[in-house]
Structure 1
Amino acid sequence: MTAIILRRASLALWLWAGPLAALDLPLPEAARETLAQDRPGARLVLPTGPWRASEGLPAEPVEGRLVARAFELPDSRATPTQLLAPLRAALDAAGYEILLDCADRRCGGFDFRFNIAVLPAPAMYVDLANYRFLSARGPDGDGVTLLTSRTQSAGYIQIMQIIASEAAAPGTGAAIAAETPLSQTRPSRAVTVPGAGRDAIATLEAQGALILSGVDFASGAASLGDGPFPMLDALVDYLAENPDRRLLLVGHTDATGSLAGNRALSQRRAGIVAAYLRAAGADPDRITAEGAGFLAPIASNLTEAGRRANRRVEAVLLPRD
């Protein structure tokens, strides 16, 4: 097991003066702070369960002063679970109630990650297939979220504390998640968009609709995967450059299963794509998701190749209302 040498770090009394309620958490000795933020009058949404397609992300908001920090551990071999363990133990000792403690897929994978508050890269890095998350509520009503992840050569820790005793007037705090994630940066692009992206946008403009290539689904599945998704990134850029346009995302399925089940599945697929676009910074009011089930095939459902082609999401271009 990887040994982690810990040092104590006050989460609240650190860079700014003020009567903050200090929370003493043990950080690895090698931890290097990459970002620090202090936001009065904020609202941090604390997830209370994993993300589910049927209900989204269950959560409860806490208003107050938000203190957020990110740390990098160069050359660390510690797993996200090992990085989180001493922090959870400290919260337990301080009398915090654990609301949610989960890992990547059990949290909800991609959809969970893009519905929680995450500090922007490169200060904080999250591997969608290898992260750990915890939310907790303190005895005085404060809230805390912890997020740990790693690359091949480094570990990452994010700590957010919302101090309820410094709340503004009820209902006036600016939401930090899930309504407005702290980080709305898209996943890093491993490829650039230019050629294929320009051609795709030209098709969308000329024909009014576009099949989103690179967004593939297994039969019965609604998981988007880890990406990259250059065509989706191109749509985000397009919406930013054309404020008079909006998109209707339509999910489609093969003919395996009932019509009702496939309509629901196609709706989830379109919703997942919509969530990606919104998390990448697209205006949520200009994106709508619907499901058509297997009612609009583009190939025969009698062959595997045809069924694979029918499992898709299309973007329909509409004028802004």
Structure 2
Amino acid sequence: MIRGLALWLVWPGALAAQVLTLPGNATLDSDVSVPLDSYDLPTGPWSDGAIPATRVEGAMTTQVWRVAATDLASLQLLRPLRDQLRQAGYEIIFECDTQDCGGFDFRFGTKVVPPPTLQIDLSDFRFLSATRGSGAGTRAVSLLVSRTPQAGFVQIIRVVPADAPSVPALTAADDPPARARGPVAAGDLAQALDGAGHVVLDGVTFQTGDVTLGEDEMPVLQHLADYMAANPVVQVSIVGHTDSQGGLEGNIAISRRRAAAVIDRLVTKHGVDRRRLTAAGMGYLAPVASNLNEDGRAANRRVEAVVTGPIE
């Protein structure tokens, strides 16, 4: 039986104990507890060289969950956990999505379990801080959610007062499994762009070092063109990514040329206005899988569409 796990949020003495449940296809990959520690709980995005935070002290538990499903959206994982925190009486004091958090700087400026236990897509992660109570009785929880094409990842950090009553052990629970997604369809692409603000263009792939698109039909590009036609004020950045073979500068150039090749196809074959498209290249700086094997490298050689805002 595949387990979803539950983290007690309200301790003995409360009228009703609440649990934070994860999908039934989640497994606990890391679980570290210390009786007394301090944690700088982020309260805002990276700014002026730092992350604003409030220090909480007490018994701290850090967990990493892996959700075995392909192409999960980060919001798909975060939203039910956020709802459960609110139901348990927690106040959401800070929530952010990728660049709103501060991107690369935020991810490396706060407490994060290192890979491969926790894998973070620097182009798609979400963070949330929540507290309950005040003063010495404050209880705090943070969630860091991201994904690779093969799985979703959830980091949970919980701090409770060191002198609180005995905290119950983690308890098994069964939530419906998170569903795997197939190739991006028109409705899925529109939902991803409207909700998460970006989507991997499935079927647009490259071999290592290659920047040329094949002549095969790529339905996802027609779906993107249809989305832009239905949303005539939206601007989109096409972002290329590479695996880690070769140097950084060369890979950034390659990834930008891949993005440019996709834009050329969208313009010449699908009728998209070039003025609404921009090309960008991340090289190997935002992997979604391990570069230590060919499957991971293939997943990293991808192109994404990112909504950058309305036409100004």
TM-score, normalization by structure 1:
0.47
Which gives a bigger RCO, structure 1 or 2 (Cα 8 Å, sep 6+)?
Answer: 2
Could you state the TM-score of these two structures normalised by the residue count of structure 2? 0.49
